[in-house]
Amino acid sequence: MSKIGGFVVVKFGGSNFKNSQSYSEVIAKIREILELEKEKTLVLIVSAAYGITDRLVNAVNNFQNIDVRNFLRELYDLHASLLEVTNDGNSYEITEELKELENRVFELERIFDAVKLLHKVPNFAKDLIISYGERLNAYVLQKLLQREGLNFELKMPEEWIITDGKFGNASVLLEPTKHLIEKRLNDWKNNHSIVPGFYGVSKDGDVTLLGRGGSDYTATVLAYALDANYVVLFKDVNGFLSGDPKIVENPILLEKLSYDELEELSYFGAKIVHSNAVEPLKNRSIPLYVCSFSGNFNLSKCTVVSNEKHRSERCVKSVSFTDDVAVVQFFGANLGRVPGVLGEISKSMAQFGLNIKFVITSQTAINLIVSKKDLPEVMRVAETLRLREIEKISYRTDKALVAVVGYGLLDTHGIAAKVFGALSKGEINVDMISAGASEVSMYFLVDAQNVKDAVRMVHNELFGED
Ligand code: ASP
Ligand code: MG
């Protein structure tokens, strides 16, 4: 079904907002897209200006030790300077716009005052404070666009992005969100919109962040709710690569990825796209373009992510890694034989909202791989388990995980041999291996200190010249 006059969702990230020059470039890019997509309505998702989220996180964590007034002054100055500059570099006559900006920074000041009175930062205040990076930046960009005769309506997520309420790292409840957005569909259709990314609100109305890099997720949630034609994420890389260019030699730019492949890669460490961002797109088969910001806007030069299960010649599309893993090990002579032990373990973890990344079992051991930040809580829950079969519990934090992802890798001869052959040549010891849990990935654990070498060697074997 062709969707003439539909929506295009475009996200700009922090690296697109480094200085006033980069705002002009963003505006030029928006003009280009408007020109190409005359029939469509644009929805822009904006993240905080470069480095601002980190500074807000730092301020909120150290509010007792820093000069908050001074920090807010800097925050104001930085955004105000963007509004004061006209395109020809001359200073701009400002009144209303700066007042409005000031009001927003005053709001933030009042929140900090409340926090100081309480002597600690409740989670809801923390998320609210950090969300101001996006709020301020979306406001500034809207005003800059307006000056150029480009009218975008600023729409705030607190009115329609509903989350599960998990502070710092919330998931969006897609159906309630879609319902609220559809109720005002005409508003969305009648104007181009600009939306601050990175947060939504819980059912109780508390601001909840969507995790670092969460503006990607805001973009795909909106695409889902509006049934957009496509989503564009501008990145400071050319698109999606076969490996992290800081680690591997000559990474290849991928033309295509499937939703599943991207999900696996993001889940296992590739930080290009937020790991929750794929799910909303899958349900409605909305293509996602990961595009470089430099050069002309050209979808055919971006990596397109869709539901096409494309098998590349090499099968493997990308190698990624994460060192955010802790291994919790349950030992017992009969663990593998007795039914229900793993069930009990995962049930208890779920009760405390603890996510198990994956599980590798043998006859005498069950290994849970979890995020490092969850380790203390996972160990606490593990110690409370009263299961006869468990004789000993221990953990390790010195491991890292490498993932090899691509359609067909599991049923193609020789890929595992290549991967493990390369590692053995490089004298890298592999601890645990798992393949087959998903159609598109294979992963293994190595010593954390060797992980970059492991990634480089595997990538070289799979993508290097013969
Ligand atoms: N500004 C937020 C961050 O730095 C969200 C984003 O960039 O998407 O994590
Ligand atoms: Mg970012």
Q: What is the pLDDT along the chain (466 residues), one digit of tens a residue?
A: 445 689 999 999 999 999 999 999 999 999 999 999 999 999 999 999 999 999 999 999 999 999 999 999 999 999 999 998 655 666 666 678 999 999 999 999 999 999 999 999 999 999 999 999 999 999 999 999 999 999 999 999 999 999 999 999 999 999 999 999 999 999 999 999 999 999 999 999 999 999 999 999 999 999 999 999 999 999 888 788 999 989 999 999 999 999 999 998 888 877 789 989 999 999 899 999 999 998 899 999 999 999 998 888 888 999 999 999 999 999 998 887 778 888 899 999 999 989 898 888 888 999 999 999 999 999 999 999 888 889 999 999 999 999 999 998 888 888 888 999 999 999 999 988 887 777 789 999 999 999 999 999 999 999 987 5
Nearest CA to ligand 1 atom 5: 213
Residues in the chain: 466
Is the distance from the beta carbon of residue 14 to the nearest atom of ligand 1 less than 6 Å?
Answer: yes
Q: Which structure tokens are listed for 217?
A: 């997720």
Enter the pTM of the model: 0.89
Q: Quick one: how far is CA 164 from the chain centroid?
A: 17
Residues 160 and 40 sit within 8 Å (Cβ to Cβ): no
Is the distance from the beta carbon of residue 272 to the nearest atom of ligand 1 less than 6 Å?
Answer: no
Q: How many C-beta atoms lie closer than 10 Å to residue 188's C-beta?
A: 20
Nearest atom in ligand 1 to the alpha carbon of residue 216 is 8
Nearest atom in ligand 1 to the alpha carbon of residue 211 is 9
Helix H or strand E encompassing 43: strand 41-46
Is the distance from the beta carbon of residue 137 to the nearest atom of ligand 1 less than 6 Å?
Answer: no
Q: What is the pLDDT of residue 19?
A: 94
Q: What is the pLDDT of residue 437?
A: 72
Helix H or strand E encompassing 403: strand 399-405
Tell the residue number behind the tokens 């564009």, with chain if given. Answer: 232
- CA-CA distance, 394 to 90, in Å (whole number)? 64
Please, which residues have CB within 8 angstroms of residue 346's CB and are 6 or more apart in sequence? 356, 359
Q: How far is the CA of 179 from the centre of ligand 1 (A)?
A: 26
Residues 153 and 193 sit within 8 Å (Cβ to Cβ): yes
**Segments in 68-150 forming alpha helices (H):** 68-84, 96-118, 123-130, 132-147
- In 111-245, DSSP assigns E strands to 152-154, 192-196, 199-201, 207-209, 230-235
Is the distance from the beta carbon of residue 196 to the nearest atom of ligand 1 less than 6 Å?
Answer: no
Indicate if the alpha-carbon torsion angle 181, 184, 186, 189 is positive or negative: negative
Q: Which ligand has the minimum distance to the alpha carbon of residue 138?
A: 1
Nearest atom in ligand 1 to the alpha carbon of residue 54 is 4
Q: Which ligand has the minimum distance to the alpha carbon of residue 54?
A: 1
Q: Which one, of 132, 206, 198, lies nearest residue 167 by Cα?
A: 206
Residues 200 and 174 sit within 8 Å (Cβ to Cβ): no
Helix H or strand E encompassing 392: strand 392-396
Q: How far is the CA of 48 from the centre of ligand 1 (A)?
A: 6
* Residue in 215, 235, 236, 271 to alter for ligand 1 test, most ligand atoms within 8 A of Cβ: 215
- CA-CA distance, 318 to 295, in Å (whole number)? 24
Residues 40 and 10 sit within 8 Å (Cβ to Cβ): no
- CA-CA distance, 115 to 125, in Å (whole number)? 8
Is the distance from the beta carbon of residue 215 to the nearest atom of ligand 1 less than 6 Å?
Answer: yes
- CA-CA distance, 191 to 170, in Å (whole number)? 29
Burial of 54 (0-12, 13-18, 19+ CB in 10 A): middle
Q: What is the pLDDT of residue 192?
A: 98
Is the distance from the beta carbon of residue 239 to the nearest atom of ligand 1 less than 6 Å?
Answer: no
What is the Cβ-side half-sphere exposure of residue 384, based on CA atoms within 13 angstroms?
A: 10
Nearest CA to ligand 1 atom 2: 213
Q: Is 145 helix (H, G, I), strand (E, B) or coil?
A: helix
Q: What is the pLDDT of residue 1?
A: 41
* Residue in 198, 220, 266, 272 to alter for ligand 1 test, most ligand atoms within 8 A of Cβ: 198
